[in-house]
Structure 1
Amino acid sequence: MFVEGEIKSYIIERGFGFIAIDGESKDLFFHIKDFPNKSVEPKLGEKLKFRIVEENGKLKADQIVRLDLKQNTAALEDVPQQRSYSNNSASPRFNERNSKGRIFTIIGLIIIAVLAVVVYNKYQDYRQAQQLKAQQLMQQQVQIVEQQREALGDLPDRVLSEEGQRNLEDQTYLTNKPRSEKVSASIEKQNAVQHQQPSQFKCDGRQHCSQMNSRAEAEWFVQHCPDNKMDGDGDKIPCENDSRW
C-alpha cells in the first residue's frame, strides 16, 4: 500500500535522507537510488508517494513517486500548448502584416511603371520636336535656293553658292577698304557729279567752315579755291569736325 509524506532531511554527500509520514512520529529512511529521477536532487519539503518495505531488518521507502516533480512536469508539458496557442493567435497578425507589405510593394511597382511611361513619352515628344525642327531648317534652305534660282536663273546649287560667296567677299572688301581708297572713291564721285552738273559755287574769298552753307560747298571750295583753311589734315575732306552736317 502506498503512503504519502515529505522529505524532512537529505544528505547530498551520502545520498540518503528521511521522510516525515503524516500521522507517524518516526521518520522513514530513503536512498537516492530508489528515486525514479536521480538527475534532480531531492528538496526539503518535497512531497512523495511510496511503499514501506523492510530491508536488512530496517524499514525504508521504496517505489518512490515524486509528487511535486510530477506536477511540475505536467505544468511544463502544458506550457508548449499555451505557446502554440499564442503563436496561433499571433499568426493572423503576422499574415496581416505580410499582406500589407505585399500591397505596398505592388503599389510601389505600379508607381515606378507609371513614371517610366511618362518619362518615355516625354523623351519621344522631345525627339519628334527635334526632327520637326530639322525638317523646318531643311525646308528653309530649299526655299533660299529656290529664291536664288528665281533671282539668278536656273543655275546649279554650286554656282549659287559661289555667287553668294562672291557677294560676301565684295561686301567684306568694301567694309575693310582703306581710308585712302574711300577718299579717292569719294573724290571720283564728286568729280563725276561736277562733270555732269555745272558748278553753282564760286571762289569769293571765304576760307572757314563757319562761312560755308553746306558740306558740298565746303568740298567745292577745298578743290577749287586756294588759301582755304577747311582741310587741316590734307585728306581733301573738309570740315570733318563741323557738327552742322
Structure 2
Amino acid sequence: MFTEGKIKSYITERGFGFISIQGESKDLFFHIKDFPNKSVEPKIGENLKFRIVEDNGKLKADQIVRLDLKQNTADLEAHPQQSSYRNNSASPRFHERSPKGRIFTIVGLIIIAVLAMLVYYKYQDYRQAQQLKAQQLMQQQAQIVEQQRKALGDLPDRVLSEQGQRHLDNTSSQSLRAEVINGAENTQAQVTTSQFKCDGRIHCSQMRSYEEAVFFLRNCPGTQMDGNNDGEPCERQFRR
C-alpha cells in the first residue's frame, strides 16, 4: 500500500533524508538509491508516493514515486506548443549566424580554388621551361657537331663526337690528312706505273700526255724534257 508525504530534509553529501507524513509524528527515513531518477536532486517540500518497508529493524521509504516530477512531465505532454516555442526561441540566433557561415564557407572554397589554379599554372610554366631548356641543349649539341664536321672535313662519323663533348686533337687530324694524301699519291703512282713503261723515248714531242712525260722524267734515264730543271717536263707543250 502506497503512502504519500513530503521531503522534510535531505543531506546531499550523505545521500539520505527524511519524509514527513501527514498524521504521523515520526519522520520516515529515505535514501537516494531508492529514487527512480537520481540525476535530479531531491528538494525539500517535494511530494512523494512510496511504500513503507522494514530494513535491518528500521522503517524506510521504498519504491519512491516523485509526484512533482511526474506532474511536470504531464504538463509538458499537455502543452507541446509551449515547449516548442521555448526551443525555437534560440533559433533566430542560429538563423542569424547561418548566412554568415555560408558566406565564409563559399569564400573559403573560392580561395582554395584560386590557389589550386595558381599552383597548376606554375607547374605548367615549369614544364615548359624544362622542355625549352632541353630543346636549346639539343640545338647547341647539333651546332657543335656541325661545326666539327665543317672544321675537320669529310672524316668518318666515328671520329666525331655526336654530343659535342670531345674535340679532336689537331695533331691527330693533321696526321690523318697526311695519311690520306700519301695514300692517294701512292695509288696514283701505282696507276701511272701500270700505264707507262720506259721504251727509249726521251723528247717531249714523243709524249702523249703530261702524266706520261712525268713518268719518263722520273723513271727513265736520258730524257731531255726538263730544260730548266724544275721537275716539270714539257711545260710549253702541255701549257703548265
Using the size of structure 1 for normalisation, the TM-score is 0.35
